[in-house]
Amino acid sequence: MKDTITHHASRINLLQPRWLILILSLIVTLLPVPYVLSNWTPVGDEPHYLLAAYSLVHDGDLDLANNYAQGDYRAFYDLPIDPHVRLGADGRSYLSHDIGLSILIAPAYALGGRAGVIIFLAIIAAFVGVNVYWLAYEVTSHQVAATLTWLILLLTPILSVYAYLVYPEMIGALIVIWTVRQLISHYSSLIVPAAISAIALAVLPWLSARFIPIALFLLAWKIWRERSIRKQLLISIGVIIGSLIGYFVVNAWLSGGTAGAIDFNTGSIPLGFQGIAIERILRGLIGWWLDQQRGVLIYSPVYIIALIGLPWLWRRLRWSGIAILAPLLIAYLSAVAWGGFWVGWEISARYLVVGLPLLAAPLALALIYLRHIAFRALAIITFAIAVLNTVMLINSPGLWGYRESIVLFYDRQTSIDLWRWLPAMSAGAYIDPNAGAIDAAEVVSDHNRSAWHTPIGLGGVVVQTSSLTDLTIGVYELHFDARAANIPTIDSPVLSIDIFSGEGVSLKHQVLRGTDFAADGSYRSFSLGFDEPFYNKWTYPVYAQISSSGLAETWLTTLSIAPEPLHLWGVSGAWLSLIALSVIAFNKRAHSNEVA
């Protein structure tokens, strides 16, 4: 009888929401794994993380020189790859990326190779889903809203896709959302959860240097929460600060000296913070959410529901609500300041994945308080689009993600150029006569400026740029100043401008004739517009070529290519206004109903 009661109680416990959510999360994240293993190829940094795990399992070290030389990566990657290494203080070749991910996935690799790693990461994603449910429930005390929030975030990009990519994002996301939950609950006053959260935070820097500011914020929050409990306070400070010190010491050694403490990862991190400009900041602020190649809302428009719920998060929790979202805000602003906008092998905004699950809080609140039929229609439509995007990305990430965009899928289903109606936060290009990066005619000083000069009778290419790899899809303008002398007739061709993509598709062809130049031989400014319809700037970069007919003497100054400002800021402004109006309108109506 006692055994029967115990079995019955256990069966009831398994039907508790937390167990159901865990079981369903595991089912949802593990189901695509066989397809992913059969059809996805590790790309970008993934093979290098896997190779470091391979070295730990088979060689017991992180020296990758022999592993690259022997082609050990062919266990999971068929093509040759360039080593991602840095020379350590002992002269050995170590992974140029942070080593935490490779260490964490090494046991899974030992058990099942790449398949073991993908299963491990899918399980991590399932636990992220469970924490999404609990964060939503703890903020709202509403089980239905929490369940819907869990379903929305688990099934839609970009969390749904990064469950199967060998990057540190999902492990970082699990650590962050779990720690935030501890800090907003009474569990933070207990010694065991406090110690576990401190250890978890200590792992963050080892996963990625990008997570250090987040770890420091969460440490500050822990210190404030545990300020009256001396033992826990000392544990948290000691563990996390000790981890940070160890992190910098180890990275200095792995990079061959003390400079490595700051400049590891092939120097890209400090380099990225150079040249910060207003335009770059604006591009980042808008682009990480709305750019049609990397924007979160482009891949998962249902996140707009979370944005609509932000005012309710403030009304409900005030500064605690701000603290909940602070890790996402830190990740976002860090990415904006760093300036890395397009990464060849990422899907959407990878750098925001670590904080995106925290949007469960405002999303759940929006589902509770906003019940107007228009809001529900918006939620259903955006959720349906996001789920379709997940299906398309899992089916073929190389076609609709990575170096392309999910917008390409919808473009092919319609007769209109959908890309023209979405923000494209592209950079530009600057080609200076003194840069030495191009083939040119003679470079001279003319009217206190550097210019390419061609005399009469010497026709041919004046400027041939190298690949303009900062140009992705968008509407652009080519700007330059030029002057000409001794033009035979006003109709004589003087300069020919050609802009074309890597596979030879002409994007712009225009001939400048004598009538286009100043009659007195002074400089005239030219601005030529063109469309760049390709997302994949890596495979299909843009080139610019300017040729002289040789019929006149010409001088040509610096070339600059920039997004056409009216289109760039007009389209972006329109979308920002539409989102802002949606947030205001839905919240105003809901607040009015609540007051009434």
User: Given a cut of 90, is residue 258 above it in pLDDT?
Assistant: no
Instruction: Say whether 188 sits in a helix, a strand or coil.
Output: helix
pLDDT at 145: 95
Q: Exposed, middle or buried: residue 34 (CB in 10 Å: 0-12, 13-18, 19+)? A: exposed
Q: Which two tokens stand for residue 373?
A: 């039929």
Q: Give the mean pLDDT of 431-446.
A: 75
pLDDT of residue 171: 97
526 pairs with which residues across the strands? Answer: 480
Q: What was the pLDDT predicted at 224?
A: 86
Residue 219 has pLDDT above 70, yes or no: yes
Please say if the pLDDT value at position 210 is more than 80: yes
CA 390 to chain centre: 16
The C-alpha atoms of residue 477 and residue 559 are separated, in whole angstroms, by 10
- Per residue in 137-184, pLDDT (tens digit) is 999 999 999 999 999 999 999 999 999 999 999 999 999 999 999 888
Residues of the chain with pLDDT > 70: what percent?
A: 90
pLDDT of residue 14: 45
Check residue 426 and give its pLDDT: 83
**Contact criterion met (CB below 8 Å) for 574 and 354:** no
- Kindly report, residue by residue over 532-554, the tens digit of the pLDDT: 999 988 888 999 999 999 999 99
Greatest Cα-to-Cα distance within the chain, rounded to the nearest angstrom? 110
Closest CA to 535 of 446, 469, 480, 490: 469
The label of the residue with tokens 């180890």 reads: 250
Whether 379 shows a pLDDT value over 60: the answer reads yes
Does the pLDDT at position 127 exceed 90? yes
- As beta bridge partners, residue 557 has none
Q: Take residue 17 and report the two structure tokens written for it.
A: 């929401």
pLDDT at 15 over 80: no
Percent of the chain residues topping a pLDDT of 90: 68
Q: What is the pLDDT of residue 441?
A: 75
Question: Mean pLDDT across the chain, nearest whole number?
Answer: 88
Q: Is the pLDDT of residue 392 over 50?
A: yes
What band does 213 get if pLDDT is binned at 50, 70 and 90? Answer: very high
Give CA–CA dist 177/154, Å, rounded.
14
Q: Which residues pair with 95 in a beta bridge?
A: 85
147 close to 21: Cβ distance less than 8 angstroms: yes
The mean per-residue pLDDT over the stretch 65-88 comes to 93
Look at residue 591 in the predicted model and tell me its pLDDT. 57
Report yes or no: 40 and 397 within 8 Å, Cβ to Cβ.
yes
**How do the residues of the chain divide into helix, strand and coil, expressed in percent and rounded to 5?**
60, 15, 30
What gap in Å lies between CA 481 and CA 98, rounded to an integer? 46
Cα separation, 276 vs 340, in Å, equals 11
Query: What is d(CA 29, CA 20) in angstroms, rounded to the nearest whole number?
Result: 14
Please provide the size of the chain in residues.
Answer: 596
DSSP code of 130? H
* 435 pLDDT tier (thresholds 50, 70, 90): low
Residue 136 to residue 132: CA distance in whole angstroms: 6
d(CA 376, CA 379): 5
Write down the pLDDT at residue 190: 64
Note the pLDDT tens digit of each residue in 445-464. 998 899 999 999 888 899 98
3-state secondary structure of 211: helix
Residue 224 in tokens: 């404030």
> Mind listing the pLDDT tens digit for each residue in 140-150?
999 999 999 99
Asked which of 80-84, 111-115, 525-529 is least confident by mean pLDDT, the reply is 80-84
Q: How far is CA 287 from CA 210, 298, 327, 332, in A?
A: 19, 10, 19, 11
Give the model's pLDDT for residue 229: 74
Whether 478 has a pLDDT exceeding 50, the answer reads: yes
User: Lowest-pLDDT range, 44-58, 71-85, 425-439?
Assistant: 425-439
- pLDDT for position 341: 62
3-state secondary structure 84-111: CEEECCCCCEEECCCCHHHHHHHHHHHH
- List, in sequence order, every beta strand (DSSP E) within 384-473: 429-431, 439-440, 442-446, 449-454, 460-464
Give the integer Cα–Cα distance in Å for 83 and 104. 21
What are 343-374's pLDDT values in tens digits?
A: 778 899 999 999 999 999 999 999 999 888 99
| The model's pTM | 0.90
- What does the pLDDT read at residue 471? 87
